[in-house]
């Protein structure tokens, strides 16, 4: 049995783990990273990247229909309708994933990090075993970074099978379903539900809350709700899924009831090809018992603002820990931070704001406080908005058709920016400036005095700030 020792042992090569390992290697620490599947983790292999690839492809396919209309579109006509090869589309997506997977492995190698493929079985907090018998490998780390990630929540009364699927399976279907029922109207369910609608499936959303995307305020949700209605995506809000049963023709029957229904109320039924369950994700922490690290009631590893667990020299980052949102960019930030802490640098996880993006059509972006949150926190606020319809670059990309806007929230007394939100096609590309503004404590005047290139969508940030100050140029 082979034994390896290192200064830093990273468990999981997702966006948190591989960034931690690369940074540790750059800092001269002997580093080993263990991954049971493929380097890149959920985000790169079966989450963020493949979903955005399919979303882009679905937009392309959907837009081609405009050019096959009688008079075409933009002066461009296509004689016949586009044809969808679902297997080919998934293959294109897989090529992107493969390229990025190889890229991560190359970056790890360049940083001097050893990648060990296999499932880590903890012997204690700082020792893992990979494999079995004489071919097993024992790895001991002076410091351990837990980057185990998360997994989709499976409903106990709707176990995953061929027709009841998670987001992972939804990204790899080789045939387009005629009908998809999405259980859960959060960001994952809506991103994938809209994607399948654009590709040609009938889509129905079943959501327990009173609205889809309830984490966002009504003003931000409105353009998305209009798109959903216009594209005939059926939405049932305020209802609970109660279970499924197979039909004789190989499909699935979903049962659901109103959330206020009496106990003996007969459930409503929907017959569908696929039931996509997107009711959240949970930390992948079930294998951590031998480590002795403390977990909270939901299974997240408890950490402080340095991502330290209760075990000395053992850290947890990303989705598996209870610090920060379950987002890839949070995991990457924490991974880099922990590597530097191990190397002796002074770091702490204390961001001013973390951007949240929903890649629906239209996209929704939020960083910092919404108007309601700012008011609840006791801030005297001023608010300004600027519509995509008044931005030249948006019009040239037909982004204005989403009815979107950029909204700025600032303090009335000192003009400090508290939050920026936006909704619209391509709006996600603006979030970098917004996050930087909050992190640096920018005032409205700081952005107002910054020249923004024309013609770009970033001009909308400038105009929304001017609107907050009461003198927008390109809108009445």
Name the one residue in this structure whose structure tokens are 């049932």. Answer: 236
Calpha distance 1→273 (Å, rounded): 49
CA distance 26 to 37: 24
**What one-character-per-residue DSSP string does 4-65 give?**
EEEEEEEE--STTHHHHHHHHHHTT--EEEEESS-TTHHHHHHSHHHHHHHHHHHHHHHHHH
Q: Measure Cα distances from 253 to 228, 262, 267 in Å.
A: 23, 21, 11
Catalytic residue among 329, 454, 471, 474: 454
* Cβ partners under 8 Å of residue 273, min gap 6: 163, 177, 178, 179, 180, 251, 252
Write down the residue that tokens 């009461």 correspond to.
470
Question: Does 454 qualify as catalytic in the annotation?
Answer: yes
3-state helix, strand, coil in the chain (%, to 5): 35, 25, 40
Q: Name residue, tokens 């966002």.
A: 216
Task: Give CA–CA dist 300/187, Å, rounded.
Answer: 21
Neighbours of 206 (CB within 10 A): 23
Q: What is the rounded distance in angstroms from the CA atom of residue 138 to the CA atom of residue 125?
A: 13
DSSP per position, 350-397: --S---EEE-SSSEEEEEE--HHHHHHTT--EEEEEEEGGG-HHHHHT
Q: What angle do CA 193, 199, 202 make, to 5 degrees?
A: 55
**Separation in Å, CA 48 to CA 108, 192, 271:** 21, 11, 29
Length of the chain: 476
What number of CA atoms fall less than 13 Å from residue 56's CA on the CB side?
A: 12
What's the CA gap between 33 and 104, in Å, rounded?
12
Q: Any idea which residues carry the catalytic annotation?
A: 454
């Amino acid at each position: 049995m082979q034994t390896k020792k290192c200064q830093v042992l990273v468990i999981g090569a997702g966006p948190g783990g591989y960034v931690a390992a690369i940074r540790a290697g750059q800092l001269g620490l002997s580093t080993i990273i263990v991954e049971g599947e493929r380097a890149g983790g959920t985000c790169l292999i079966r989450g963020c990247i493949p979903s955005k690839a399919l979303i882009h492809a679905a937009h392309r396919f959907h837009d081609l229909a405009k050019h096959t209309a009688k008079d075409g579109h933009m002066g461009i006509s296509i004689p016949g309708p586009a044809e969808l090869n679902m297997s080919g589309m998934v293959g294109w997506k897989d090529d992107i994933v493969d390229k990025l997977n190889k890229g991560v492995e190359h970056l790890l190698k360049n940083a001097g990090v050893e990648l060990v493929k296999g499932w880590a079985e903890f012997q204690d907090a700082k020792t893992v075993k990979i494999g079995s018998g004489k071919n097993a490998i024992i790895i001991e780390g002076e410091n351990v970074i837990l980057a185990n990630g998360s997994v989709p929540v499976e409903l106990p009364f709707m176990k995953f099978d061929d027709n009841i699927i998670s987001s992972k399976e939804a990204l790899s279907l080789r045939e387009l379903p005629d009908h998809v029922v999405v259980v859960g109207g959060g960001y994952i369910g809506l991103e994938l539900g809209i994607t399948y609608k654009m590709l040609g499936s009938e889509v129905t959303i079943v959501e327990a809350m009173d609205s889809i995307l309830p984490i966002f305020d009504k003003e931000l949700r409105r353009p998305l709700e209009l798109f959903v209605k216009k594209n005939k995506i059926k939405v049932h809000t305020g209802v609970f899924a109660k279970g499924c049963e197979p039909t004789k023709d190989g499909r699935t029957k979903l049962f659901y009831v109103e959330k206020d229904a009496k106990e003996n109320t007969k459930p409503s039924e929907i017959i569908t090809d696929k039931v996509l369950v997107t009711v959240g994700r949970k930390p992948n922490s079930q294998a951590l018992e031998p480590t002795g690290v403390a977990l909270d009631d939901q299974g997240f590893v408890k950490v402080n603002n340095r991502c330290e667990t209760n075990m000395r020299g053992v850290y947890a980052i990303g989705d598996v820990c209870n610090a920060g949102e379950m987002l890839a960019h949070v995991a990457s930030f924490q991974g880099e931070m922990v590597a530097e802490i191990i190397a002796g640098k002074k770091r702490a996880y204390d961001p001013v704001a973390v951007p949240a993006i929903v890649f629906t059509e239209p996209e929704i972006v939020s960083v910092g406080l919404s108007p309601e949150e700012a008011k609840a926190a006791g801030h005297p606020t001023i608010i300004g908005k600027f519509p995509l319809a008044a931005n030249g670059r948006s019009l040239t990309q037909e982004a204005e058709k989403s009815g979107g806007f950029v909204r700025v929230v600032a303090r009335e007394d000192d003009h400090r920016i508290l939050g920026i939100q936006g909704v619209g096609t391509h709006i996600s590309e603006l979030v970098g400036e917004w996050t930087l503004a909050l992190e640096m404590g920018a005032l409205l005047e700081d952005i107002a005095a910054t020249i923004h290139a024309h013609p770009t969508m970033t001009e909308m940030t400038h105009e929304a700030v001017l609107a907050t100050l009461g003198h927008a140029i390109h809108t009445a």
